[in-house]
Amino acid sequence: MKTSGDLPQAYDPCASTAAEQIGAGNMGDQAAKQIGAGSTGDRAAKAPALIIGAGPSGMYLAFQLGLLDIPCVIVDSLSAIGGQCYELYPDKPIFDIPGFVSIEAIELSTRLWQQAQIAKPELYLNHVVTKIDGNENDGFEVELKSTQSTQQQDVGLAVQRFCAVFIASGVGAFEAKRLRMEDAAALEGSSLFYGELPPDSMIKTKRVLISGGGKRALRLAAYLLQHNESLALASIDLIARNGLRAALDTEHQALLDLVNQASAIGRIRVLNALIKGLDVDKPSEVADQTHKLSAVSIITRDGSQPTEMRLPVDVIAVCHGLSPKVDAMLAWELGMNKGQIPVDTGRFESRRKAIFVVGDMASYPGKKKLIACGFHEATLAAYAACDYAFPGKTIHLQYTTTSPRLLQKFGDQSTLSTRTSVK
Protein backbone atom coordinates (compact mmCIF):
# COMPACT_ATOMS: atom_id res chain seq x y z
CA MET A 1 0.00 0.00 0.00
CA LYS A 2 1.75 3.13 -1.20
CA THR A 3 0.60 6.54 -0.15
CA SER A 4 1.76 10.10 -0.41
CA GLY A 5 0.45 13.58 0.06
CA ASP A 6 -1.37 15.64 2.62
CA LEU A 7 -2.11 14.86 6.22
CA PRO A 8 -5.78 13.93 6.54
CA GLN A 9 -7.97 16.39 8.38
CA ALA A 10 -9.35 13.76 10.73
CA TYR A 11 -8.13 10.38 11.89
CA ASP A 12 -10.55 7.51 11.37
CA PRO A 13 -9.39 4.39 13.25
CA CYS A 14 -12.11 2.36 11.57
CA ALA A 15 -11.10 3.30 8.03
CA SER A 16 -11.81 0.55 5.56
CA THR A 17 -8.48 0.89 3.82
CA ALA A 18 -4.99 1.73 4.95
CA ALA A 19 -5.08 4.78 2.69
CA GLU A 20 -7.66 6.29 5.03
CA GLN A 21 -5.51 5.71 8.11
CA ILE A 22 -3.46 8.32 9.86
CA GLY A 23 -0.77 9.73 7.64
CA ALA A 24 -1.94 7.86 4.59
CA GLY A 25 -2.68 10.94 2.55
CA ASN A 26 -4.48 10.84 -0.79
CA MET A 27 -3.94 7.39 -2.21
CA GLY A 28 -6.55 7.27 -4.94
CA ASP A 29 -5.59 5.10 -7.90
CA GLN A 30 -2.46 6.98 -8.76
CA ALA A 31 0.48 4.90 -9.84
CA ALA A 32 3.62 4.87 -7.76
CA LYS A 33 5.64 7.69 -9.22
CA GLN A 34 9.38 7.67 -9.63
CA ILE A 35 11.14 9.80 -7.09
CA GLY A 36 14.02 11.56 -8.76
CA ALA A 37 17.21 12.73 -7.21
CA GLY A 38 15.52 15.68 -5.55
CA SER A 39 16.19 19.23 -6.61
CA THR A 40 15.34 21.67 -3.85
CA GLY A 41 17.50 24.75 -3.73
CA ASP A 42 20.93 24.63 -5.35
CA ARG A 43 21.80 21.02 -4.66
CA ALA A 44 20.43 17.64 -5.67
CA ALA A 45 20.77 14.40 -3.75
CA LYS A 46 22.44 11.49 -5.49
CA ALA A 47 19.37 9.34 -4.73
CA PRO A 48 16.57 9.19 -2.17
CA ALA A 49 16.99 7.61 1.25
CA LEU A 50 14.95 4.73 2.65
CA ILE A 51 13.50 4.82 6.16
CA ILE A 52 12.32 1.51 7.61
CA GLY A 53 9.77 2.35 10.28
CA ALA A 54 7.12 5.08 10.57
CA GLY A 55 7.34 5.58 14.32
CA PRO A 56 8.41 8.82 16.02
CA SER A 57 12.12 8.38 15.19
CA GLY A 58 11.39 7.52 11.56
CA MET A 59 9.04 10.45 11.04
CA TYR A 60 11.38 12.94 12.69
CA LEU A 61 14.19 11.55 10.55
CA ALA A 62 12.11 12.31 7.46
CA PHE A 63 11.77 15.90 8.67
CA GLN A 64 15.53 16.22 9.10
CA LEU A 65 16.15 14.73 5.65
CA GLY A 66 13.70 17.25 4.23
CA LEU A 67 15.71 20.10 5.73
CA LEU A 68 18.80 18.65 4.03
CA ASP A 69 17.12 18.26 0.62
CA ILE A 70 17.26 14.46 0.73
CA PRO A 71 13.99 12.93 -0.54
CA CYS A 72 12.88 9.80 1.25
CA VAL A 73 10.66 6.75 1.20
CA ILE A 74 9.18 5.30 4.40
CA VAL A 75 8.18 1.65 4.74
CA ASP A 76 6.21 0.28 7.69
CA SER A 77 4.70 -3.11 8.43
CA LEU A 78 1.62 -1.62 10.09
CA SER A 79 -1.48 -0.21 8.42
CA ALA A 80 -0.97 3.20 10.06
CA ILE A 81 1.91 5.44 11.03
CA GLY A 82 3.00 5.92 14.63
CA GLY A 83 4.86 2.69 15.39
CA GLN A 84 4.63 1.40 18.95
CA CYS A 85 3.12 4.72 20.05
CA TYR A 86 0.04 4.27 17.91
CA GLU A 87 -0.16 0.50 18.09
CA LEU A 88 0.32 -0.03 21.83
CA TYR A 89 -0.86 3.12 23.61
CA PRO A 90 -2.47 5.64 21.22
CA ASP A 91 -4.64 7.29 23.87
CA LYS A 92 -2.14 7.33 26.72
CA PRO A 93 -0.37 10.60 27.61
CA ILE A 94 3.39 10.89 27.16
CA PHE A 95 5.08 13.27 29.60
CA ASP A 96 8.70 13.45 28.40
CA ILE A 97 8.38 15.00 24.94
CA PRO A 98 10.13 18.41 24.79
CA GLY A 99 7.70 21.31 24.65
CA PHE A 100 4.66 19.35 25.87
CA VAL A 101 3.56 18.97 29.47
CA SER A 102 1.78 15.88 28.14
CA ILE A 103 0.69 14.68 24.72
CA GLU A 104 -1.24 11.61 23.64
CA ALA A 105 0.64 9.22 21.41
CA ILE A 106 -1.88 9.61 18.60
CA GLU A 107 -1.49 13.40 18.62
CA LEU A 108 2.29 13.11 18.68
CA SER A 109 2.16 10.82 15.66
CA THR A 110 -0.12 13.25 13.82
CA ARG A 111 2.14 16.23 14.54
CA LEU A 112 5.29 14.38 13.54
CA TRP A 113 3.76 13.28 10.26
CA GLN A 114 2.62 16.82 9.54
CA GLN A 115 6.12 18.09 10.27
CA ALA A 116 7.64 15.41 8.02
CA GLN A 117 5.72 16.73 5.00
CA ILE A 118 8.58 19.12 4.33
CA ALA A 119 10.31 16.06 2.84
CA LYS A 120 7.22 14.97 0.86
CA PRO A 121 7.89 11.36 1.87
CA GLU A 122 6.49 8.41 -0.04
CA LEU A 123 4.84 6.01 2.42
CA TYR A 124 4.42 2.27 1.95
CA LEU A 125 2.18 0.78 4.66
CA ASN A 126 1.53 -2.93 5.27
CA HIS A 127 4.95 -3.85 3.89
CA VAL A 128 8.24 -5.13 5.26
CA VAL A 129 11.68 -4.90 3.72
CA THR A 130 12.86 -8.43 3.05
CA LYS A 131 16.15 -7.81 1.28
CA ILE A 132 18.80 -5.11 0.93
CA ASP A 133 21.49 -5.39 -1.74
CA GLY A 134 24.25 -2.92 -2.55
CA ASN A 135 26.82 -0.72 -0.90
CA GLU A 136 27.61 2.88 -0.07
CA ASN A 137 29.17 3.56 -3.48
CA ASP A 138 26.58 2.04 -5.80
CA GLY A 139 23.53 2.56 -3.60
CA PHE A 140 21.04 0.03 -2.28
CA GLU A 141 18.23 -1.91 -3.89
CA VAL A 142 15.51 -3.39 -1.70
CA GLU A 143 12.60 -5.78 -1.95
CA LEU A 144 9.30 -5.49 -0.10
CA LYS A 145 6.69 -8.00 0.92
CA SER A 146 3.09 -7.41 1.94
CA THR A 147 2.17 -8.10 5.56
CA GLN A 148 -1.41 -8.76 4.47
CA SER A 149 -0.65 -11.78 2.32
CA THR A 150 1.94 -14.53 2.52
CA GLN A 151 1.08 -15.37 -1.08
CA GLN A 152 2.10 -11.98 -2.49
CA GLN A 153 5.47 -11.98 -4.18
CA ASP A 154 8.22 -9.56 -3.23
CA VAL A 155 7.58 -6.24 -4.95
CA GLY A 156 9.91 -3.49 -6.03
CA LEU A 157 9.64 0.18 -5.14
CA ALA A 158 9.14 2.97 -7.61
CA VAL A 159 12.62 4.03 -6.55
CA GLN A 160 15.08 1.32 -7.49
CA ARG A 161 18.15 2.64 -5.70
CA PHE A 162 18.75 4.48 -2.42
CA CYS A 163 21.76 6.45 -1.28
CA ALA A 164 21.28 5.39 2.35
CA VAL A 165 19.06 3.18 4.49
CA PHE A 166 17.81 4.11 7.96
CA ILE A 167 16.44 1.43 10.27
CA ALA A 168 13.98 2.98 12.71
CA SER A 169 11.81 -0.05 13.35
CA GLY A 170 11.84 -0.16 17.15
CA VAL A 171 11.71 -3.75 18.38
CA GLY A 172 11.16 -5.05 14.86
CA ALA A 173 8.53 -5.19 12.15
CA PHE A 174 5.14 -5.81 13.73
CA GLU A 175 3.31 -8.61 11.96
CA ALA A 176 -0.15 -9.95 12.64
CA LYS A 177 -0.64 -13.24 14.42
CA ARG A 178 -2.05 -15.35 11.63
CA LEU A 179 -4.59 -18.14 11.50
CA ARG A 180 -2.69 -21.40 11.44
CA MET A 181 -5.05 -23.64 9.56
CA GLU A 182 -5.49 -25.17 6.14
CA ASP A 183 -6.26 -22.77 3.27
CA ALA A 184 -5.79 -19.63 5.40
CA ALA A 185 -2.77 -18.44 3.41
CA ALA A 186 -4.59 -18.89 0.10
CA LEU A 187 -7.40 -16.58 1.28
CA GLU A 188 -5.16 -13.71 2.41
CA GLY A 189 -5.79 -10.50 0.54
CA SER A 190 -9.09 -11.70 -0.94
CA SER A 191 -11.27 -13.02 1.88
CA LEU A 192 -8.94 -12.95 4.88
CA PHE A 193 -7.41 -9.77 6.30
CA TYR A 194 -5.39 -8.98 9.40
CA GLY A 195 -6.03 -5.99 11.63
CA GLU A 196 -8.05 -4.08 9.05
CA LEU A 197 -10.95 -4.29 6.65
CA PRO A 198 -10.56 -4.40 2.88
CA PRO A 199 -11.88 -1.52 0.72
CA ASP A 200 -15.63 -0.98 0.94
CA SER A 201 -16.09 -2.32 -2.57
CA MET A 202 -14.86 -5.74 -1.41
CA ILE A 203 -17.31 -6.05 1.48
CA LYS A 204 -20.44 -4.41 0.10
CA THR A 205 -23.45 -6.74 0.57
CA LYS A 206 -21.12 -9.39 2.06
CA ARG A 207 -21.22 -11.45 5.26
CA VAL A 208 -18.40 -10.12 7.44
CA LEU A 209 -16.80 -11.81 10.45
CA ILE A 210 -14.46 -10.03 12.86
CA SER A 211 -12.38 -12.24 15.15
CA GLY A 212 -10.89 -10.64 18.26
CA GLY A 213 -11.97 -9.14 21.56
CA GLY A 214 -9.79 -6.04 21.84
CA LYS A 215 -10.09 -2.41 20.82
CA ARG A 216 -8.95 -2.95 17.24
CA ALA A 217 -11.70 -5.51 16.64
CA LEU A 218 -14.25 -3.14 18.18
CA ARG A 219 -13.08 -0.31 15.92
CA LEU A 220 -13.67 -2.44 12.85
CA ALA A 221 -17.08 -3.50 14.14
CA ALA A 222 -17.96 0.14 14.84
CA TYR A 223 -16.98 1.11 11.30
CA LEU A 224 -19.25 -1.55 9.82
CA LEU A 225 -22.14 -0.53 12.05
CA GLN A 226 -21.72 3.16 11.24
CA HIS A 227 -21.56 2.54 7.47
CA ASN A 228 -23.92 -0.38 7.11
CA GLU A 229 -26.56 1.69 5.33
CA SER A 230 -24.21 2.28 2.39
CA LEU A 231 -22.51 -1.13 2.62
CA ALA A 232 -25.78 -3.08 2.87
CA LEU A 233 -23.98 -5.93 4.63
CA ALA A 234 -25.72 -9.29 4.71
CA SER A 235 -24.48 -9.92 8.26
CA ILE A 236 -21.94 -8.74 10.83
CA ASP A 237 -20.51 -11.20 13.37
CA LEU A 238 -17.93 -10.58 16.08
CA ILE A 239 -16.34 -13.48 17.91
CA ALA A 240 -13.82 -13.49 20.75
CA ARG A 241 -12.34 -16.51 22.50
CA ASN A 242 -12.83 -15.10 26.00
CA GLY A 243 -15.43 -12.45 25.26
CA LEU A 244 -14.90 -8.74 24.75
CA ARG A 245 -12.16 -7.28 26.91
CA ALA A 246 -12.85 -4.74 29.63
CA ALA A 247 -12.44 -1.11 28.59
CA LEU A 248 -9.02 0.46 29.13
CA ASP A 249 -10.02 4.06 28.39
CA THR A 250 -12.97 6.23 27.43
CA GLU A 251 -12.70 5.49 23.70
CA HIS A 252 -12.60 1.76 24.42
CA GLN A 253 -15.70 2.08 26.62
CA ALA A 254 -17.54 4.03 23.93
CA LEU A 255 -16.76 1.30 21.39
CA LEU A 256 -17.95 -1.38 23.82
CA ASP A 257 -21.18 0.51 24.43
CA LEU A 258 -21.80 0.94 20.70
CA VAL A 259 -21.26 -2.74 19.93
CA ASN A 260 -23.27 -3.97 22.93
CA GLN A 261 -26.19 -1.70 22.04
CA ALA A 262 -26.09 -2.88 18.42
CA SER A 263 -25.96 -6.49 19.61
CA ALA A 264 -29.02 -5.98 21.80
CA ILE A 265 -31.14 -4.95 18.81
CA GLY A 266 -29.74 -7.55 16.41
CA ARG A 267 -27.54 -5.35 14.23
CA ILE A 268 -24.48 -7.45 15.08
CA ARG A 269 -24.04 -10.89 16.60
CA VAL A 270 -21.40 -11.20 19.33
CA LEU A 271 -20.26 -14.67 20.38
CA ASN A 272 -17.72 -16.11 22.78
CA ALA A 273 -16.10 -18.34 20.21
CA LEU A 274 -12.96 -19.20 18.28
CA ILE A 275 -12.35 -20.25 14.69
CA LYS A 276 -11.73 -23.98 14.29
CA GLY A 277 -11.64 -24.29 10.51
CA LEU A 278 -12.40 -22.70 7.14
CA ASP A 279 -14.87 -23.93 4.54
CA VAL A 280 -13.25 -23.09 1.21
CA ASP A 281 -14.20 -23.81 -2.38
CA LYS A 282 -10.94 -24.93 -3.97
CA PRO A 283 -9.77 -23.82 -7.46
CA SER A 284 -10.70 -27.18 -8.99
CA GLU A 285 -14.26 -26.73 -7.77
CA VAL A 286 -14.91 -23.22 -9.12
CA ALA A 287 -14.66 -21.65 -12.54
CA ASP A 288 -12.38 -18.69 -11.81
CA GLN A 289 -9.58 -20.76 -10.29
CA THR A 290 -9.46 -18.93 -6.95
CA HIS A 291 -10.05 -20.04 -3.39
CA LYS A 292 -13.45 -18.79 -2.18
CA LEU A 293 -14.48 -18.66 1.45
CA SER A 294 -18.03 -19.84 2.13
CA ALA A 295 -18.12 -20.38 5.90
CA VAL A 296 -16.09 -20.94 9.05
CA SER A 297 -16.40 -23.60 11.69
CA ILE A 298 -16.38 -22.07 15.16
CA ILE A 299 -16.41 -23.42 18.70
CA THR A 300 -18.78 -21.36 20.84
CA ARG A 301 -18.36 -20.98 24.58
CA ASP A 302 -21.58 -19.22 25.45
CA GLY A 303 -23.14 -22.26 27.11
CA SER A 304 -21.98 -24.71 29.73
CA GLN A 305 -20.48 -26.96 27.05
CA PRO A 306 -18.46 -25.92 23.98
CA THR A 307 -20.51 -26.23 20.81
CA GLU A 308 -19.32 -26.42 17.23
CA MET A 309 -21.30 -24.54 14.62
CA ARG A 310 -20.97 -23.47 10.99
CA LEU A 311 -21.08 -19.73 10.34
CA PRO A 312 -21.56 -18.56 6.72
CA VAL A 313 -19.12 -15.72 5.92
CA ASP A 314 -17.52 -14.08 2.89
CA VAL A 315 -14.85 -11.92 4.54
CA ILE A 316 -12.88 -12.33 7.78
CA ALA A 317 -10.93 -9.62 9.60
CA VAL A 318 -8.64 -11.19 12.21
CA CYS A 319 -7.48 -9.07 15.15
CA HIS A 320 -5.48 -11.50 17.27
CA GLY A 321 -2.62 -9.17 18.09
CA LEU A 322 0.83 -8.48 16.69
CA SER A 323 4.34 -9.77 17.26
CA PRO A 324 7.64 -8.08 16.29
CA LYS A 325 9.87 -9.86 13.79
CA VAL A 326 13.55 -9.26 13.00
CA ASP A 327 14.18 -12.38 10.91
CA ALA A 328 14.89 -10.55 7.65
CA MET A 329 17.36 -8.15 9.30
CA LEU A 330 19.53 -11.04 10.51
CA ALA A 331 20.62 -11.57 6.90
CA TRP A 332 21.70 -7.95 6.41
CA GLU A 333 25.09 -8.45 8.12
CA LEU A 334 24.62 -5.62 10.60
CA GLY A 335 25.90 -7.45 13.67
CA MET A 336 22.46 -7.71 15.26
CA ASN A 337 22.53 -9.22 18.74
CA LYS A 338 19.39 -9.87 20.79
CA GLY A 339 17.34 -7.63 18.54
CA GLN A 340 19.72 -4.66 18.64
CA ILE A 341 22.27 -3.31 16.17
CA PRO A 342 25.50 -1.64 17.35
CA VAL A 343 26.21 1.86 16.01
CA ASP A 344 28.77 4.58 16.55
CA THR A 345 27.42 7.57 18.44
CA GLY A 346 28.85 10.18 16.10
CA ARG A 347 26.89 9.05 13.04
CA PHE A 348 24.58 6.25 14.22
CA GLU A 349 25.91 4.20 11.36
CA SER A 350 26.04 0.41 11.52
CA ARG A 351 29.09 -1.61 10.59
CA ARG A 352 27.71 -1.60 7.05
CA LYS A 353 28.37 1.85 5.61
CA ALA A 354 25.37 4.01 4.64
CA ILE A 355 23.02 1.86 6.73
CA PHE A 356 22.03 3.76 9.86
CA VAL A 357 20.06 2.69 12.93
CA VAL A 358 18.06 5.01 15.19
CA GLY A 359 15.49 4.49 17.92
CA ASP A 360 15.06 1.43 20.11
CA MET A 361 17.01 -0.89 17.82
CA ALA A 362 20.22 1.17 18.01
CA SER A 363 22.74 -0.12 20.54
CA TYR A 364 25.62 1.84 22.09
CA PRO A 365 27.06 2.53 25.56
CA GLY A 366 24.62 4.53 27.66
CA LYS A 367 21.69 3.89 25.30
CA LYS A 368 18.29 4.92 26.66
CA LYS A 369 15.15 3.76 24.87
CA LEU A 370 13.34 7.09 24.91
CA ILE A 371 11.55 8.95 22.13
CA ALA A 372 13.58 12.08 22.91
CA CYS A 373 16.81 10.13 22.39
CA GLY A 374 15.49 8.86 19.07
CA PHE A 375 15.07 12.45 17.86
CA HIS A 376 18.73 13.17 18.64
CA GLU A 377 19.87 9.98 16.92
CA ALA A 378 17.77 10.76 13.85
CA THR A 379 19.26 14.25 13.53
CA LEU A 380 22.88 13.05 13.60
CA ALA A 381 22.14 10.14 11.27
CA ALA A 382 20.51 12.46 8.73
CA TYR A 383 23.55 14.73 8.65
CA ALA A 384 25.88 11.74 8.38
CA ALA A 385 23.94 10.51 5.36
CA CYS A 386 24.89 13.68 3.49
CA ASP A 387 28.22 11.98 2.79
CA TYR A 388 26.34 9.55 0.54
CA ALA A 389 23.57 11.82 -0.72
CA PHE A 390 25.99 14.60 -1.73
CA PRO A 391 29.36 12.88 -2.22
CA GLY A 392 32.26 15.29 -2.27
CA LYS A 393 30.21 18.22 -0.98
CA THR A 394 30.37 19.93 2.38
CA ILE A 395 26.95 20.45 3.93
CA HIS A 396 26.95 23.23 6.50
CA LEU A 397 24.64 23.44 9.47
CA GLN A 398 21.82 25.93 8.93
CA TYR A 399 19.24 27.16 11.42
CA THR A 400 15.53 27.20 10.70
CA THR A 401 15.27 30.63 12.34
CA THR A 402 17.77 32.37 10.05
CA SER A 403 18.45 30.32 6.91
CA PRO A 404 16.71 31.86 3.85
CA ARG A 405 16.75 28.45 2.17
CA LEU A 406 15.01 26.75 5.09
CA LEU A 407 12.60 29.61 5.66
CA GLN A 408 11.56 29.34 2.03
CA LYS A 409 10.76 25.68 2.67
CA PHE A 410 8.49 26.61 5.56
CA GLY A 411 6.80 29.40 3.62
CA ASP A 412 6.63 33.13 4.24
CA GLN A 413 8.46 34.06 7.45
CA SER A 414 5.67 36.27 8.78
CA THR A 415 3.07 33.61 8.11
CA LEU A 416 5.26 31.07 9.85
CA SER A 417 5.64 33.30 12.91
CA THR A 418 1.89 33.74 13.17
CA ARG A 419 1.29 30.05 12.73
CA THR A 420 3.70 28.99 15.47
CA SER A 421 3.16 31.74 18.03
CA VAL A 422 2.23 30.70 21.56
CA LYS A 423 -1.06 32.09 22.83
Q: Do domains 2-175+323-392 and 178-320 have the same CATH topology?
A: yes
pLDDT at res. 154 = 55
Where do the domains of the chain lie? 2-175+323-392, 178-320
CATH of 178-320 among 2.40.50.140, 3.40.50.300, 3.50.50.60, 3.90.230.10? 3.50.50.60
What is the C-alpha separation between 388 and 386, in angstroms, rounded?
A: 5
What is the C-alpha separation between 167 and 299, in angstroms, rounded?
A: 42
Task: Name the CATH superfamily housing domain 2-175+323-392.
Answer: FAD/NAD(P)-binding domain (3.50.50.60)
pTM for this entry? 0.77
What is the C-alpha separation between 239 and 262, in angstroms, rounded?
A: 14
Q: Which of 47, 55, 46 is nearest to 75 (CA)?
A: 55
What is the C-alpha separation between 296 and 85, in angstroms, rounded?
A: 34
pLDDT at res. 285 = 54
* pLDDT tens column, 127-148: 999 999 999 999 999 999 888 7
- Listed as ranges, residues in the chain with pLDDT below 50 are 4-41, 412-423
* pLDDT tens column, 277-332: 998 887 665 555 577 899 999 999 776 788 899 999 999 999 998 888 888 899 99
